[in-house]
Amino acid sequence: MVLMSKTYDDLTVGQEASITRIVTPDDLYVFAHVSGDMNPLNLPSSDEFGRPGTSAPAPAMWIGSLFSAVLGNLLPGPGSTYEAQTLRFYARAFVGDTLTITVRVQEKRPPRTIMLQTELKRGSAMIADGVAEVHAPTIRLSIADTELPALTIGNHPHVDRLIATCRDLPPLATAVVAPEEEMALRGALKAAREHLIEPVLVGSAQKIRAVAEEWHLSLDDLAIEDVPGHDAAATRAVELVHSGRVSAIMKGFLHTDELLRQVVKTQGGLRTSRRLSHVFVMDAPALAGLLLVTDAVVNIAPTLEDKVDIVQNAIDLALALGIAEPKVGILSAIETVNPKIPSTIDAAVLSKMAERGQIRGGVVDGPLAMDNAVSLTSARTKGVISAVAGLADVLVVPNVEAGNILAKELTYAAQAEGAGIVLGAKVPIMLTSRADDERSRLFSCAVAVLYNAWRVNGRCALPATVV
């Protein structure tokens, strides 16, 4: 698009131009950052589904700024300079509203002043009007409508949506293993207050109470299983599952191998016919939906047989999270089969196994490189024809190094919020990092609650989505 300016002599009384604009939550966030106006009345709020910005009114001065888009781009256009603007507001515009912004030449005042009537409407309803006084360009300018640098707003609507959905589900009885540190205990207590879990605190009662006292956290009405040492706490958590007292396990302040050592025991553990695997559920601001990454924690160098279970576990979780037909991309360094790169052969076999019904519930394709797994532009440029390429909901990595790097890259470079869960055991295991904050722990709890509900009820508690 080319923007053409109009000089004083080009303009006539009655000439007008208009644009339309939909109010989005991101508009309100950006305006708050740029202006410093943190009025909570003008920040995106949440509806009953946890979706941001469904009821927030747009700030009045953001509304006023929309007139400059018409004046600076269309009438008079590039080269115009603002001199004055009057504004009167009659109603509020809200997130989701479609607005029409119109300017109309009202008067010409030599040598180059133009008076313009400005109006902003929602349908036929007047939101604001006024008069703009501008200096028209002295020469005709023609400039390309250049693309501005992209902005990424660091909100996580899918986290909010999943947590909100869990409010309609019963809390999940959960053994919290060794919550003997502030964030581990605080996260469990917060999840209890949000009715995501009913925690049973398993570990040193003395240490747990000391942490609670230090940080002024209430342990009223909470069950504590007093056991010394992390191995004993993990063992007791597994016993609580077998006794039917809990239906999930949550990692506290202990090492992952200390917990999983008891889970994978042949005698008395929580093994099933499936291989255990870990899934990161990532909510990245730049992505339209959730992205599942597996396996970045448990399986170090999985075999082809291992990957069958890894893929199936991830598909099951995606279904539980409302992805109606999960698209699974099997990652490698390239998108073609090369016998010198074993992961490409595994990817091709897994794809064929899914075609033959040996892996069910999703669409599986590979090998795919990272770029053409998540970018349609990359896939099309490289000529990758696939139902998964550019649209992957699940990324299956070749080994733990690749998975760990990818998950941390999404977290620290792409500002993703992540949940961690181990599948393939008799109950879901929330495998949070010892450094995770409260929100990340709530996210992991919500994922576990939804997965357990899907497993028990045979259906998803969320509205299904297909991308």
pLDDT by position in tens, the chain (length 467): 788 899 999 999 999 999 999 998 889 889 999 999 888 888 876 443 334 445 678 999 999 999 999 999 999 999 999 999 999 999 999 988 999 999 999 999 999 999 999 999 999 999 999 999 999 998 998 888 777 787 777 778 889 889 999 988 999 999 999 999 999 999 999 999 999 999 999 999 999 999 999 999 999 999 999 999 999 999 999 999 999 999 999 999 999 999 999 999 999 999 999 999 999 999 998 888 999 999 999 999 999 999 999 999 999 999 999 999 999 999 999 999 999 999 999 999 999 999 999 999 999 999 999 999 999 999 999 999 999 999 999 999 999 999 999 999 999 888 899 999 999 999 999 998 767 778 889 999 999 999 999 999 888 887 655 44
Q: Is beta strand 277-283 parallel, antiparallel or unpaired with respect to 291-294?
A: antiparallel
**Which sign, positive or negative, has the C-alpha torsion 45, 51, 57, 58?**
positive
pLDDT at 48: 39
Cβ–Cβ < 8 Å for 73, 2: no
Q: How far apart are CA 1 and CA 415, in angstroms?
A: 33
pLDDT at 53: 44
Query: Are the C-beta atoms of 166 and 442 separated by less than 8 Å?
Result: no
Q: Which amino acid is at 174?
A: T
Q: What is the largest CA-CA distance in the chain?
A: 93
Of the candidates 388, 401, 396, 449, which has an alpha carbon nearest to the alpha carbon of residue 421?
A: 449
Rounded Cα–Cα distance for residues 437 and 435 (Å): 7
> What pLDDT shows up at residue 3?
87
- Spell out the domains of the chain, with CATH numbers in brackets: 2-144 (3.10.129.10), 157-326+393-457 (3.40.718.10)
Q: Which residues neighbour 401 within 8 Å (Cβ) at sequence distance 6 or greater? A: none
DSSP 222-275: -EEEE-SSHHHHHHHHHHHHHTTS-SEEEE-SS-HHHHHHHHT-TTTS-B-SSP
Q: Pick the closest to residue 20 from 135, 137, 127 (CA basis).
A: 127
Buried b (16+ CB within 10 A) or exposed e, 118-145: bbbbbeeeebbbbbbbbbbbeeebeeee
CA atoms of 466 and 449, how far apart (whole Å): 22
- The upper half-sphere exposure of residue 240, i.e. CA atoms within 13 Å in the direction of its Cβ, equals 27
What single letter denotes the amino acid at residue 165? T
Cα–Cα distance measured from residue 206 to residue 142, given in angstroms and rounded to the nearest whole number: 74
Angle between helices 438-457 and 304-320 (to 10 degrees): 90
Between vectors from CA 289 to CA 287 and to CA 290, what angle results, nearest 5°? 100
**Predicted pLDDT at 54:** 52
Check the CA dihedral 140-5-117-106 and report its sign: positive
How many residues belong to the chain? 467
Cα–Cα distance for residue pair 258/265, rounded to 1 Å: 12
Residue 302 near residue 295 (C-beta atoms within 8 A):
yes
CA-closest candidate to residue 102, choices 67, 65, 53? 67
Question: CA of 227: how far to CAs of 132, 178, 232, 259, in Å?
Answer: 74, 9, 6, 14
pLDDT at residue 252, rounded to an integer: 95
Query: Whole-angstrom Cα distance, residue 391 to residue 253?
Result: 36
Q: Helix, strand or coil for residue 179?
A: coil
Among 432, 407, 444, 438, smallest CA distance to 253 is for: 432
Output the CA–CA distances (angstroms, integers) from residue 112 to 11, 14, 248, 456, in the order listed: 10, 17, 73, 74
Residue 437 is predicted with a pLDDT of: 79
| pLDDT of the residue at 432 | 82
Checking 13-17 for CB contacts under 8 A at 24+ apart, the result is 13/105, 13/106, 13/107, 13/108, 14/104, 14/105, 15/75, 15/104, 15/105, 16/75, 16/102, 16/103, 16/104, 16/105, 17/70, 17/74, 17/75, 17/102, 17/103
Radius of gyration of the chain (CA): 28
Q: What pLDDT sits at residue 119?
A: 97
Predicted confidence at residue 150, as pLDDT, reads 74
